[in-house]
Amino acid sequence: MYIGVTSPVVIDHPDSRVEWERHAGIDELARVAEAADRLGYHHVTCSEHVAVPSRIAAERGGVYWDPLATFGYLAARTHRIRLNTRVLVLGYHHPLEIAKRYGTLDAISGGRLVLGLGVGSLEEEFALLGASFADRGARADEALLALRAGLSNPNPEFHGTFYDYADVEVRPHAVQPRVPFWIGGRTARSLRRAVTLGDGWLPFGLTVQQIDEMLRRVDLPAGFDVVLDAGRLLDPLGDRDAALRALDRRRAIGATVVSAGIVSTGADHYCDQLSALHEYAGEAGVTFESSPPKTPSDIDESSR
């Protein structure tokens, strides 16, 4: 089981943001990402909302950094840590747009992109963007097929109900032969979508028991990732046992990756917490990255 970092600063959500983050910026975020990269954490995250209606922002928060801009900067400040969108809303984008923009990110980062993708649930945001809400599930399924056909291909071709294209070039494109797709959601349908069209499942808004029950009802493909959050913010320095229990519980139900938020009073404290968790998380079956840093030159030029 690997452990990644639910990035601080990039989201202002009442359930997860702490006071110091309200006054922090890209420098503080980059310091956390660099520490996580150096220690061998699996990934950092960035979510997507384009325009949250004010009445909803009061409940969900209104600050959501753009993943592409954020990861473009962090890619230059790190070497091996993966860059995980958590999640892109498929209905907000044409598949070729994702292929070009995030394929470029994969190329400049040396193949470190993990696309977290979801159907979306905020109807008001769909309306603001002129995106179709009623058939978003069917559109998302087809978009996943189109992305898989074209994300790592300079000459993508796809023929479907909602998307149809051929005789086009998309360069640069992803350098990974198969960019991992982690599918977000909280329903049995989202899990089926992940199993049939993705490489992993990113459940949210569910208890560990609910996730366990849902996973028991399906046969997961070989190599399929179950990506769970750590629950409450972990406090590695202040409550070692609670951190280990949270990780143990998720490993026990089949998590292959855990994404953790960390109790912190500032960027320096956050980095100290990551160091402390790194020292003992192996007791809960956590593996940290030990391979040499990747660079674009590590990717076979023929895959470009």
Q: Which pLDDT tens digit goes with each residue over 55-73?
A: 888 887 889 999 999 999 9
CA dist., res. 17 & res. 61, Å (int) = 9
- Coil, helix or strand for 75? helix
Rounded mean pLDDT, 43-49: 96
Q: Give the contacts of 246 (CB within 8 A, at least 6 positions apart).
A: 230, 231, 232, 234
Q: What confidence category does residue 293 fall into, taking pLDDT thresholds of 50, 70 and 90? A: very low
- Coil, helix or strand for 228? strand
CA dist., res. 239 & res. 284, Å (int) = 15
Query: How many whole angstroms from its chain centre is CA 16?
Result: 16
CA distances from 121 to 18, 29, 52, 124, 282 (A): 25, 28, 12, 9, 36
Q: Does 265 score more than 60 pLDDT?
A: yes
Number of domains within the chain = 1
Q: Does 294 score more than 60 pLDDT?
A: no
Write out the residue range of the structural domain in which residue 88 sits: 2-303
- Torsion of Cα atoms, 29 then 257 then 211 then 251, to 10°: -120
Query: How many whole angstroms from its chain centre is CA 168?
Result: 28
Q: Where do runs of H (alpha helix) occur along the chain?
A: 26-39, 54-60, 67-77, 95-108, 123-129, 136-150, 188-197, 208-216, 240-252, 267-280
Residue 296 pLDDT: 42
Rounded mean pLDDT, 277-296: 81
Q: Does 52 score more than 90 pLDDT?
A: no
Q: Does 301 score more than 80 pLDDT?
A: no
DSSP state of 162: S
Looking at this protein, which amino acid is placed at residue 103? G
Residue 291 pLDDT: 60
Instruction: Supply the pTM of this predicted model.
Output: 0.94
Measuring CA to CA, which residue among 184, 193, 182, 146 is closest to residue 165?
Answer: 146
Q: What is the CATH number of the domain that holds 195?
A: 3.20.20.30
Q: Does 120 score more than 60 pLDDT?
A: yes
Measuring CA to CA, which residue among 219, 100, 237 is closest to residue 169?
Answer: 100
Residue 295 pLDDT: 43
**Pairing status of strand 164-165 against strand 158-159:** antiparallel
Crossing angle, helix 95-108 and helix 136-150, to 10 degrees? 40
Q: Does 302 score more than 90 pLDDT?
A: no
CA dist., res. 286 & res. 155, Å (int) = 39
CA distances from 47 to 138, 188, 280 (A): 22, 22, 28
